[in-house]
Structure 1
Amino acid sequence: MRRGIVATALVASLALAATACGGSGSDNGGKADGPVTITWWDTSNATNEAPTYQALVKQFEAANKGIKVKYVNVQFDQAQNKFDTAAGSKGAPDVLRSEVGWTPAFAKKGYFVPLDGTEALADQDKFQPSLIKQAQYEGKTYGVPFVTDTLALVYNKALFEKAGIAEAPKTWDELKSAAAKIKDKTGVDGYWGSTQAYYAQNFLFGEGTDTVDVDAKKITMNSAAAKKGYGTWLGLFDGKGLHKADTTADAYAHIQDAFIEGKVAAIIQGPWEITNFYKGSAFTDKSNLGIATVPAGSAGKAGAPTGGHNLSVYAGSDKAHQDAALKFVKFMTSAKSQETIALKNSTLPTRDDAYTAEVKTDPGIAGYQGVLAAAQPRPALPEYGSLWGPLDTELPKIAAGKESLDKGLDNAELAISKLVPDFSK
């Protein structure tokens, strides 16, 4: 999951927006009885995932002769700003693969069609309820869950076995102990943590808290419980078998590469890396990949953030395009389509009936399905995803010893208070 959102130039945004049909209703070849052409902005990986979606588009067109789909792959870290610009000028695509954090924000602006009662949500009871919940804003549903993800403790079973560790650690203290044993027995580090705020969410949830309490309208990432969680997070960068914090721009790649090559025994990671795990020398035997629920904090309960993407329909297009878009969304989120996507891309389906026996032969998918119970849905707060920005600035400084935990959290709290000005501290 490449979670950063990068600002893009207005010219680039408008250029891409020009490829979308939006509300023009004119892209049927000028013929009233011609096919309706809808535009889909897909934000998936252009190399590993997009070919599967392009093949499904062709299947949809073959089954729906009156609809054409203009497929556009948009780089994930540019898509939010591009869509925001395009929708504001009435030139957005008819369907967007919207990251779950974007959905309430765009719904608040009126850019998405409420899908309740439409054919796109005809199978609503087949989807995991928590995923439907995080596609909602103010009681209405603005996206159909397309793919989901969460974080898990992924580990090298062979290295754990060499260290005499029979099962994955269930608490952070157990993880520290395991890391030391692995270092003693194998010579490699047992755990390498991330300084990114998204990955630190596990430590907040383990203390029964979050960055904010939406119901109480209160900023909580600097509370006593949160400080305890961040203190545990910080303590996992120093000790036997614990890799020191990497605060470089390439930290994500460094951690991932070390894991797949067997140079570190465990990391926290999401299912978007399943295909890349298997490309590493440590996991040529897929069964060597261990996947477990993230360790629990002192509250005794483990929790991980829920990510993923919804398919949402643009509210600025005409009825013909919206109707075609709804039909397309239903097709792409069907059990058959989700099974195909899971088999080809090793991503997690959002509906239970897509976890077929064949899908679950992939140990990565089966493993991540087993940890979904610990995934916590995001609150319907449009600004929620933006709250990690200030923490992404401060946490690396804390981990590198450049500022204290208290100072860094104070700085982050001040920045977050500007993002949610009606929330108290």
Structure 2
Amino acid sequence: MPLTRRRFLTGAAATATALPLAAAGCGFAPAGSKAAANPDTLTFTTWGTDAELAGFRAAIAGFEKANSGAKVNLNAVPYEQMFTDIDAQLQTGNPPDVFRVPYYTFGAYAGRGQLLDLSSQLPSGFGDRFTPAAWAAVQNSGKPYGVPHHTDTSAILYNTALMKGAGITDIPTKAEDAWTWDEFTAVARKLRSSLPATKFPFGYNWQGNGVTRWLNLLFQADGRFLDEQLSGPAINSDAGRAAVEFSKDFFTQKFVPPNSSVKATTYVADSWYAQTTAMVFSGAFAIPDATENLKFEWGATYAPRKVRGGGDFGGNALVVTAKAKNPKLATAFLDFVTQADPMRTFCAGASLLPTRRDLSADGIEFKIRPELSPVFVGQSRVVRATDSAQVASPSMSGIITVLKDQLDKAFVGGQSTAATISGLSSGIAQALQK
């Protein structure tokens, strides 16, 4: 079977010592239950693949063992209802103590004052354990309102036979050797010439809220969509125009399926699983299902570069709600799950990338297809803090809508580059004012 929609949408036992605090197994209780009323009990709401949930259960068991009397009730919900539930609980004043949130959604919750400012809760130097890009992704007005639990970023998965059929055998094995935009275009043209009209060189994973992955191209051109103060648009630039032109060519040159624009209702991974695209931009989270379900030989390589390498800072943070009943216990839980052993166990099992400096520097070995780990770890290293900080903007939900509207007009509506840049710039400015 192909990759399940749930797994594609998500993205997403230890010996470490927790912060000192005051035992029993991993329970399942919704926020507001009698169990949650215990001051030594936390409620934690998340979605996740089977591997991710197994990782959370192992971390919870380790935390409870390290903190006698503490208990964490895990409430696992489908991704599709996750934030409807969270928003409703926040509005009624009965939210979970801790929940999981994508980085591109984090800013909206922090900006509305719904999350706990962790500045006075975390130990001195806590942020030093994370990469600069990761720590920047959980800041709001210069203060941390969460912890970066893991990340993921888009590299390229490729069909070995289709690549060889086009005479493409020199595939980059180092991030610094990634194809340039011109080289990637040359590869796409070779594939276009060798493939029948019903098949395409690649698919880009920018459908739905994945439209933020278009920003990878902007970053590769060394551009920004927000200014350095994160208070105004900055996309009206040579880099912005280059990114729009480059991505419009995907459609005009028939490099991507015509129905794979940013507003498509199906995800481009489906075309790669069906072998109608030779390559697909994808996160590492797809590796377990791909390994289990695909019957053809495939590999992974780095996303292209222009002025520099660039990628999306995907993945999720863990946050404490402002009305958490026991902020100290909740903060201790965040400390525990982001220590080296719990993070390594979680990321290796779920094919996700660590946010800790030490684990990122040393690398991590996925339990499934470990030989692909260096590709995704190397791709994550090109993400800059200046990139991830923009995506954590409190206005990101509105900016996502602007990106969808303007890029879809450019890709399938024939809108000019100049009009697209103008629409993006004015739309971002309006989103920032709301």
TM range, smaller chain:
0.7 to 0.9
Per-residue deviation, 1:98: 2.2
Q: Deviations over 1:21-66 (max 9, x none)?
A: 49x99722xxxxxx72210011334x45223323432343344331
Alignment counterpart, residue 104 of structure 2, candidates 101, 105, 114: 101
User: Counterpart in 2 of 1:302?
Assistant: 309
Give distance in 1, aligned partners of 2:228 and 2:94: 33
2:353–2:364: 8 Å Cα contact kept in structure 1?
Answer: no
Partner residue of 1:178 out of 178, 187, 200: 187
Answer yes or no: is 1:329 the counterpart of 2:334: yes
Please give the TM-score of this superposition, normalised by the length of structure 1: 0.80
**Cα RMSD over matched residues?**
3.2
**Residue 342 (str. 1) matches residue 355 (str. 2):** no
Question: What letter matches 1:397 in structure 2?
Answer: K
1:65-84 to 2 correspondence within 5 Å? 65-84=68-87
Contact 2:262 2:404 in 1 (8 A): no
Match of 1:14 in 2: none
Match of 2:253 in 1: 239
Match of 1:125 among 120, 123, 128: 128
Q: Matched residues in 2 for 1:26 and 1:149: separation?
A: 32
Distance in 1 separating the partners of 2:420 and 2:67: 55
Q: Structure 1's 127 and 405: CA in aligned 2 closer, same or farther, altered over 3 A?
A: same
What are the residue-to-residue correspondences of 1:50-61 with 2, within 5 Å? 50-61=53-64
State the alpha-carbon separation in 1 of the partners of residues 399 and 262 from structure 2.
21
Letter of the aligned partner of 1:167 in structure 2? I
Counterpart residue number, 2:232? 218
Superposed displacement of residue 71, structure 1? 0.9
Structure 2 CA distance for aligned equivalents of residues 409 and 323 of structure 1: 46
Partner of 2:323: 316
Q: Is the 8 A contact 1:144 1:311 kept in 2?
A: yes
Q: Secondary structure at the match of 2:203?
A: coil
Structure 2 distance, partners of 1:186, 1:317, is 56
Amino acid at match of 2:308: K
- The verdict on how the C-alpha distance between 1:203 and 1:356 changes in structure 2, with shifts beyond 3 A counting, is closer
Q: CA deviation at 1:145?
A: 1.2
- Aligned 8 A contact 1:271 1:368 in 2: yes
Deviates more, 1:93-102 or 1:184-193: 184-193
Aligned with 2:371 (options 363, 366, 377): 363
Q: 1:81 to 1:237 in 2, by over 3 A?
A: same
Kindly state the Cα deviation for residue 141 of structure 1 after the two structures are TM-superposed. Answer: 1.4
Is 1:290 aligned to residue 297 of structure 2? Answer: no
Mapped partners of 1:396, 1:26: distance in 2: 45
Seen in structure 2, the aligned counterparts of structure 1 residues 373 and 343 have a Cα distance that, compared at 3 Å, is closer
AA aligned opposite 2:388: P
Q: How does 1:117-266 map to 2 (within 5 A)?
A: 118=121, 123-165=126-168, 166-168=170-172, 170-185=179-194, 187=196, 188-194=199-205, 196=207, 197-215=211-229, 217-239=231-253, 242-247=256-261, 252-253=266-267, 255-266=268-279
Residue type at the aligned position of 2:140: Y
Q: Secondary structure at the match of 1:201?
A: helix
Q: Distance in 1 between matches of 2:194 and 2:111?
A: 54
Provide the C-alpha distance between the structure 1 equivalents of 2:224 and 2:263, rounded to a whole number of angstroms. 26
Q: 1:51 to 1:183 in 2, by over 3 A?
A: same
User: The residue matched to 2:221 in structure 1 has which SS?
Assistant: coil
> Whole-Å Cα distance in 1 between the matches of residues 181 and 363 of structure 2?
33
- Tell me the distance in 1 between the aligned counterparts of 2:316 and 2:94: 22
The corresponding residue for 1:114 is: 117
The gaps in structure 2 that reach 5 residues or longer are 1-7, 12-28, 173-177
- Partner AA of 1:127 in structure 2: F
Deviation at 1:160, TM superposition (A): 2.8
Decide whether aligned partners of structure 1 residues 282 and 200 sit closer, same or farther in structure 2, where only a CA change above 3 A counts.
Answer: farther
Native 8 Å contact 2:232 2:432 kept in 1: no
Question: Which residue in 2 is equivalent to 1:418?
Answer: 430
User: What residue number does 1:378 align with?
Assistant: 389
Q: Deviations over 1:363-421 (max 9, x none)?
A: 33321001112213232531134302122123223322354444455444444333113
Taking the aligned partners of 1:26 and 1:291, their CA distance within structure 2 comes to 45
Letter in 1 for 2:46: D
CA distance 1:315–1:403, change in 2 (3 Å): same
1:386-397 aligned at under 5 Å gives the runs 386-397=398-409
C-alpha offsets along residues 94-145 of structure 1, whole Å, 9 cap, x if unaligned?
A: 1111222333332333322232464577753332122112211222212111
Q: TM-score with structure 2 length normalisation?
A: 0.78
One-letter amino acid of the counterpart of residue 115, structure 1 = L
Distance 1:19 1:151 in 2: 33
1:228 Cα offset (Å):
2.5
CA distance in 2, matches of 1:291, 1:251: 27
Q: How many residues align?
A: 392
- Note the C-alpha offset of 1:260: 3.3
Aligned residue for 1:268?
Answer: 281
Amino acid at match of 2:431: L
**Structure 1 unpaired stretches of 5+:** 5-17, 29-34
Q: Distance in 1 between matches of 2:214 and 2:223?
A: 12
Instruction: Name the structure, 1 or 2, with higher relative contact order (CA <8 Å, separation 6+).
Output: 2
Q: Which residue of 2 aligns with 1:11?
A: none
